[in-house]
Chains A and B, each alone.
Chain A
Amino acid sequence: MKRALAWLSASTIVVFARLITAVHARWQGCEPRAVQRIYFANHCSHGDFVLLWTVLPAALRQTTRPVAGSDYWSGSRLKRFIGRDVFRSVLIERNPAQRDQDPVAQMVQALDAGDSLIVFPEGTRNTGDTRLLPFKSGLYHLAESRTDVELVPVWISNLNRVLPKGEIIPIPLICSVTFGQPLTRIPAEGKAAFLARAEQSLLALAMQEAGIDDEKLP
């Protein structure tokens, strides 16, 4: 019963996301294949992982789990249902003081079960004017723990305009999700260099989008 309800909710959310955003995927640097991946994306809205998940082929959706903050997704029964049962999120505690589990260990556990992950290395929603917030180190530790998993940069464009922070009614606007080339692995690279390279790969995708994405006036 609960599974049927979860499936129905997932389908409804996908249809709704498509109706509002007409979202389309650009598989620029890789193909939608059933290999184990960590998709790392920019984070402007609670809908980010929904959009990324929507453009994945149905077969990949079954094995792709978003990593999300448990503080938000445990907020109400509905959020818990959507977070846990519909999207099978890996819920992590963002506040170090309240942790009883290591977030990286939780993510590695999900990888070891064979699933792919969607992560937002900025750690929190970016509501400012910069394109990206500095990455947290979680992505580095995750990448170090499982070196055979592909690291795919994903740029989600326009969703921050659909539903800016604090608004309730979404504005229908066309969004796109661009998948870049998987990061090459450089042995013994070091945390700072790795994170800088990961940030750069995302910004490069953002720049290609700039024709539509740029909010600057001429």
Chain B
Amino acid sequence: MNESRSDLLLLLAGVGGVLVVATLIGQWLAVRQRGKASVAEAQVSVVDNLNARINAWWAMVILIGLAFMGGKAGVIILFGFCSFAALREFITLTQTRRDDHWALAAAFFVVLPLQYALVWYEWYGLYSIFIPVYAFLLLPMLAALRGSTRHYLVRVAETQWALMICVFCASHVPALLTLQIPGYEGRQVLLIAYLVVVVQISDVLQYVWGKLLGKRRIAPALSPSKTVEGAVGGILSATLIGAMLWWITPFTLWQSAGMALACTLMGFMGGLVLSAIKRDRGVKDWGHLIAGHGGFIDRMDSVLFSAPVFFHLVRYGWDVS
């Protein structure tokens, strides 16, 4: 545990160092802009948004650091709340109506807490199928009992999708704590740190590479800011960073690179998929609670998609329970 804590502190110090550099660059850009006589408004808003994002990163890193210090309870509470906020954003954009009221109440106040309780009790056999099987069967029943058939399949499918993304996928982050890896006892929180750092740094680096070199857009209809140059540069450099972090994981250097590549690819696709939903619903952001970033889903999209895959790769490759 002591070794785990010192590794965690070292990692947090590294992230803090990156944020200090980012903050200095952001402030330098802002000062330089203010010095100039005429700057296009679009450029000002890019720098403002960058600084808002960096400030929000400080808050997020501090919050996650505190949750890690709180151990299993801290991590489960943090991700339980993230699930709640994400589900609230997702359901807001669905076409659910009065007749879904019981189903939605069950989704928020029964399914979500139960899923995290199952993770807390480390009941893998149930939490891995609870939402895909039991919520999947239960919620349509509740919707059917209300008697309305209008857009029935659409409403039921949207609710199930919301639960899968916002609760099922997200709960696989704290579930990493329950893995039993020989020689890695008491250090599982570092797996969460590894996943979050690799996936989020990939998002950041995709943004940076895209702003510096981005030309060819990958999917203009889905996301105007995603470019080939940004994606390739971001994923490769994040994979490199992931490999360099092998010392906090149970992986070898090359395994760590492979894991980081898998996570960043899933993360990239997660961003694209959730953008597609936003564009279909005609909104720019999922929410407004994280200044500069948008909503919780905007910030978590890549983690949501990579968490279950990372969890299962580690479980089948390293877990002995």
**Of B84, B88, B91, B95, which contacts A217 at CB under 8 A?**
B95
Residues in chain B near residue A211, CB distance under 8 A: 281-283
Q: A164-B101, A173-B88, A173-B91 are in contact. List 20 more A-B contacts (CB 8 A).
A: A22-B287, A22-B288, A24-B288, A164-B98, A167-B101, A169-B109, A171-B104, A171-B108, A172-B87, A172-B88, A174-B88, A174-B89, A174-B92, A211-B281, A211-B282, A212-B93, A212-B281, A215-B95, A217-B151, A217-B154
By beta carbon, the residue of chain A nearest B96 is A161
Please tell me if B105 contacts chain A, counting CB pairs below 8 Å. yes
Cα A139 to Cα B133 in complex, Å, equals 54
Give per-residue flags for A146-178: 1 if the beta carbon is below 8 A from chain B beta carbons, else 0.
000000000000100100100101011110000
By beta carbon, the residue of chain A nearest B295 is A174
Residues in chain B near residue A167, CB distance under 8 A: 98, 101
By beta carbon, the residue of chain B nearest A211 is B282
Please tell me if B66 contacts chain A, counting CB pairs below 8 Å. no
Give the bracket for the number of chain A residues in contact with chain B.
Answer: 10 to 19
Q: How far is the CB of B172 from chain A (nearest CB, A)?
A: 22
Chain A residues within CB distance 8 Å of chain B? 22, 24, 158, 161, 164, 167, 169, 171-174, 211-212, 215, 217
Q: Which of A161, A167, A172, A212 is most buried by chain B, counting CB atoms within 10 A of its CB?
A: A172
Give the bracket for the number of chain B residues in contact with chain A.
Answer: 20 to 34
Q: Is the interface of B mostly helix, strand, loop or mixed?
A: helix
Cα A155 to Cα B96 in complex, Å, equals 21
Q: How far is the CB of A213 from chain B (nearest CB, A)?
A: 10
Please tell me if B289 contacts chain A, counting CB pairs below 8 Å. yes
By beta carbon, the residue of chain B nearest A174 is B92
By beta carbon, the residue of chain A nearest B284 is A211
Residues in chain A near residue B19, CB distance under 8 A: none
Q: How far is the CB of B105 from chain A (nearest CB, A)?
A: 5
Residues in chain A near residue B282, CB distance under 8 A: 211
Q: How far is the CB of B77 from chain A (nearest CB, A)?
A: 15
Cα A174 to Cα B151 in complex, Å, equals 22
Residues in chain A near residue B91, CB distance under 8 A: 171-173
Q: Are B283 and A171 in contact (CB under 8 A)?
A: no
Give 27 CB contacts A-B under 8 Å.
A22-B287, A22-B289, A24-B288, A161-B96, A161-B97, A164-B98, A167-B98, A169-B109, A171-B101, A171-B108, A172-B84, A172-B87, A172-B91, A172-B108, A173-B88, A173-B91, A173-B92, A174-B287, A211-B281, A211-B282, A212-B92, A212-B93, A212-B283, A215-B97, A217-B95, A217-B151, A217-B154
Cα A173 to Cα B107 in complex, Å, equals 13
